[in-house]
Amino acid sequence: MGAITRVFITFSMALMMIELQFSHRLQLLVNPKVTPFILISILVLILLGLVQIWEMRRTPAHPVSGWGYLFLLLPLLFFLFIPPRSLDSTMAAKKEITYASAVIPPQATGSVKKKPHDSNPHYNKVLQDLMQQRVITLNPDNYVDRMTTIQLHAKELVGKTIRVQGFVHYAKEEPNKLIVARYVVTCCIADASVVGFPVEIPRGTAFKEGTWIEVTGTLSTTTIESRRMPQIEGTEVRQISEPKNAYVYANF
């Protein structure tokens, strides 16, 4: 009975990951860049299942407590009864938002700490590309690179037109300022962080928390918690539908 249970668990877990991969729901759980490792794990699980079938013909299975099997079955139970879905704005309220800090404040000595990416050739190249564009557009493919570049080179980009999509979030430290935010996933959903730009929107414009919007405006800077950081002076703000995949992913 134990060997049959092991075969069931290994093949079921492999099928679960195959279904998540082909339904594109795996991207709701992990960064797509780790997909090759997921595919390798699927092959390993199938191989382990075949080994268990082979071993059933030769020797009795080594006994394992029921708690051990239950632990392995938990991912399958979550998959069946709690399907993966995107994080919404309610989770953003529980996480600390990461603003695109434009300037690291001076230390007590009056010196300014050098930012670690100031001389990074990659971001310098992205900066040159952004300087040539009439409208800086942030999309899921370039969001992290461009936001990081804006963070590091805000002074050079002040006055440029920018277009960005995200959900509306009102941070507790700035309750009267709208944040156009996104979830950034580095490795998996457990490390998802909320990043975004403060937005000055036209008077008379209001959006509920969690509403998806597209903002087109001019890059400027503002001060939040004694830090200078990029801000968008929104000249055009419109409501949009939530994308199928609401996350953006870190490059590594």
pLDDT tens digits for range 178-226? 899 999 999 999 899 999 999 988 776 789 999 999 999 999 998 877 7
pLDDT tens digits, residue range 55-83?
777 766 566 666 777 888 888 888 888 88
Please enumerate in sequence order all residues whose Cβ is within 8 A of that of 56, keeping only pairs 6 or more positions apart, or say none: 3, 4, 7
How many residues are recorded in the chain?
252
Is-contact 249 233, C-beta < 8 A? no
Report whether pLDDT(129) > 70.
yes
Between β-strands 161-169 and 227-239, what pairing exists: parallel, antiparallel or unpaired?
unpaired
172-187: per-residue pLDDT in tens?
766 667 899 999 999 9
Q: Which residues pair with 161 in a beta bridge?
A: 135, 218
Average pLDDT value over all residues in the chain: 84
pLDDT over threshold 90, residue 125 = yes
Rounded-to-integer distance, Cα 164 and Cα 180, Å:
8
- More confident of the two residues 44 and 115: 44
Residue 62 has a pLDDT of 63
Confidence of residue 242 (pLDDT cuts 50, 70, 90): very high
Q: Report the alpha-carbon distance of residue 166 to residue 168 in Å, rounded.
A: 7
Sign of CA dihedral 211, 173, 136, 203: positive
Tell me, what's the pLDDT at 53? 85
Identify the pLDDT of residue 130: 95
Sign, CA dihedral 139-118-189-69, equals positive
- Strands 97-99 and 193-200 turn out to be parallel
CB-facing half-sphere around the CA of 153: CA atoms within 13 A: 23
What integer pLDDT is reported at residue 142 of this predicted model? 94
Is the per-residue pLDDT at 118 higher than 80? Answer: no
Rounding to the nearest 10 degrees, give the CA dihedral for residues 70, 75, 77, 80.
Answer: -160
Class of the CATH domain delimited by 89-249: mainly beta
Which tokens hold the place of 146?
A: 């461009």
Q: What is the pLDDT of residue 88?
A: 80
Res 175: pLDDT: 64
Distances in Å between the alpha carbon of 148 and those of 69, 98, 99, 123, 245?
44, 11, 10, 8, 21
Looking at residue 64, its pLDDT comes to 63
All residues at 6 or more sequence positions from 115 whose CB lies less than 8 Å from its CB, including other chains: 104, 152
**Distance in angstroms (rounded) separating the CA atoms of residues 162 and 164:** 7
Mean pLDDT lowest for which of 44-48, 168-172, 237-241?
168-172
